[in-house]
Amino acid sequence: MTSEITTPAELQKMDPVFGQLSFDNHEQIVFCNDKDTGLKAIIGIHNTVMGPALGGTRMWKYNNEWEALNDVLRLSRGMTYKSAITGLNLGGGKAVIIGDAKADKTPEMITRFGQFVDSLSGKYITAEDVGTTTEDMDRIHEVTNYVTGISEAKGGSGNPSPVTAYGVYMGMKAAAKYQFGSDSLGGKKILVQGTGHVGETLISHLTKEGAEVFVSDIHQDKMESMVAKYGAKIFTGADLYAADVDIYSPCALGATINDETIYKIKAKVIAGAANNQLAVESVHGQILRERGIAYAPDFLINAGGIINVYAEIVKYSKEEAIRRTENIYNTTLEIFNFADTNNITTQQAAMQIAQNRIDERKKENANK
């Protein structure tokens, strides 16, 4: 969530929007301002070739507007590839609201934001993200239909985290199949970093299958609860990244695979829910490949959440959402094979397949 690319001062010397380094031919960027409610938001529509641009609204205390713009550009682009690789008829979009969700958010502000979403007539569809909740989506739903992630009580798909966790579990099994020759996780030593909404459900799947699960979290009580509920073990080593485990599952923060950690990692598989796990995709993806570590691309295996909310658009059942999420297993195996055949990283393989789908659809759309 920080501007890792350049400083605001440097950015200002460039074209302020289209010259942003995270700008990647985004179709539309909408700046939303409302004096009365204090709303300052940016909606980024990266690409709508595959369908309406769907992506969550993040509310975050950005240090400055450049950081917010950079974030929305980067995140909306990520959504384009996530939906394309998952086979959903959705484009990529995302929104950011500048402010502290705990201190600054008001119902009026969220309603006003919903009106801005509505003004785009369905080109952008919103959902929850960091700093926004199901309750916020219900409120937005009062002023627009272009919202997903509303509560089950109001006809929505409810909490996406269990479905996300199931997809990560499927991706992890596929990565294990590729790396170890069997997709059984029984007896495997697995380190789960982050025992939040996704991490906990993942841990429950893993322990049920007989894996030896180690957990790490900044909150001691959460780790203790994983021990009590699932028989997980708290990781007590000095360095998490040097842990002697078979599988490392980042389920907390992004960019944990970076210059400092990458040569320490002993795990032979990396598969987790966190977004943007590779600090620098091209560099760290390549080093993992050279080190023989099977990396399941995050944006592919954490797509259960978007599969879950997609049900609100195309009206399928929870069972269908689970079935589609299960398919992450097959897609992950395809990605590993495609990467080997083309001698590229799994991240590059997933991006390339997603881009091919978008290019094909663009041709079909042009011929209609």
Give residue number: closest CB to ligand NAD. Answer: 196
Transcribe 25-93 into DSSP letters.
Answer: S-SEEEEEEETTTTEEEEEEEEE-SSSSEE--EEEE--SSHHHHHHHHHHHHHHHHHHHHHHT-S-EEE
105 classed as catalytic: no
- Piece of the chain touching ligand NAD by CB under 6 A; list 190-198, 319-327, 335-343, 348-356: 190-198
Size of residue set near ligand NAD by CB under 6 A: 23
Work out which of 251, 300, 301, 311 binds ligand NAD, going by CB under 6 A. 251
Looking at the Cβ atoms of 30 and 274, the one nearer to ligand NAD is 274
Per CB under 6 A, 199 contacts ligand NAD: yes
Q: What residues contact residue 49 under an 8 Å CB cut-off, 6+ apart?
A: 91, 358, 361, 362, 365
Work out which of 219, 229, 291, 323 binds ligand NAD, going by CB under 6 A. 219
Q: Which of residues 32-71 bind ligand NAD (CB under 6 A)?
A: none
Looking at the Cβ atoms of 116 and 158, the one nearer to ligand NAD is 158
Instruction: Lay out the site mask for ligand NAD across 143-162 (x = CB under 6 A, - = otherwise).
Output: -----------------xx-
Q: What is the DSSP letter of 228?
A: H
For residue 275, the minimal CB distance to ligand NAD (Å) is 5
In this structure, which amino acid lies at residue 125? I
Looking at the Cβ atoms of 61 and 222, the one nearer to ligand NAD is 222
- Piece of the chain touching ligand NAD by CB under 6 A; list 205-213, 273-281, 313-321, 342-350: 273-281
Is residue 87 part of an annotated ligand binding site?
A: no
Is residue 215 part of an annotated ligand binding site?
A: no
Instruction: Lay out the site mask for ligand NAD across 292-331 (x = CB under 6 A, - = otherwise).
Output: ----------x--x--------------------------
Looking at the Cβ atoms of 39 and 127, the one nearer to ligand NAD is 127
Work out which of 195, 204, 249, 347 binds ligand NAD, going by CB under 6 A. 195
Q: Which residues pair with 33 in a beta bridge?
A: 40
Work out which of 47, 216, 346, 348 binds ligand NAD, going by CB under 6 A. 216
Pairwise CA distance, residues 26 & 248, whole Å: 34
Per CB under 6 A, 196 contacts ligand NAD: yes
Is residue 197 part of an annotated ligand binding site?
A: yes
> Among residues 94, 105, 189, 268, which one is catalytic?
94
Please give the sequence-ordered ranges of beta strands (E in DSSP) within 121-216, or none if there are none: 124-125, 189-193, 212-216
Pairwise CA distance, residues 155 & 259, whole Å: 45
**The two three-digit tokens of residue 318, written as one number:** 């929870």
Is residue 284 part of an annotated ligand binding site?
A: no
- The Cα-based distances of 322 to 29, 170, 308 in angstroms read 33, 11, 8
Is residue 196 part of an annotated ligand binding site?
A: yes
Work out which of 72, 185, 252, 339 binds ligand NAD, going by CB under 6 A. 252
Looking at the Cβ atoms of 99 and 171, the one nearer to ligand NAD is 171
- Piece of the chain touching ligand NAD by CB under 6 A; list 11-19, 103-111, 268-276, 343-351: 268-276
Q: What residues contact residue 176 under an 8 Å CB cut-off, 6+ apart?
A: 182, 183, 184, 185, 188, 247, 269
Pairing of strands 53-54, 91-98: parallel
Pairwise CA distance, residues 168 & 296, whole Å: 9
Q: Starting at the edge strand that comes first in sequence, how are the strands of the sheet with 247-250 ordered?
A: 233-234, 212-216, 189-193, 247-250, 269-270, 294-295
Closest CA to 171 of 286, 85, 278: 85
Per CB under 6 A, 274 contacts ligand NAD: yes
Per CB under 6 A, 86 contacts ligand NAD: no
Pairing of strands 233-234, 247-250: unpaired
Transcribe 252-302 into DSSP letters.
Answer: S-S--BSTTTTTT---SEE--S-S--BSSHHHHHHHHHHTT-EE--HHHHT
Work out which of 61, 197, 318, 361 binds ligand NAD, going by CB under 6 A. 197
> Which residues form the interface with ligand NAD (CB under 6 A)?
160-161, 164, 193-199, 216-219, 222, 251-253, 273-275, 302, 305
User: What residues act catalytically?
Assistant: 94
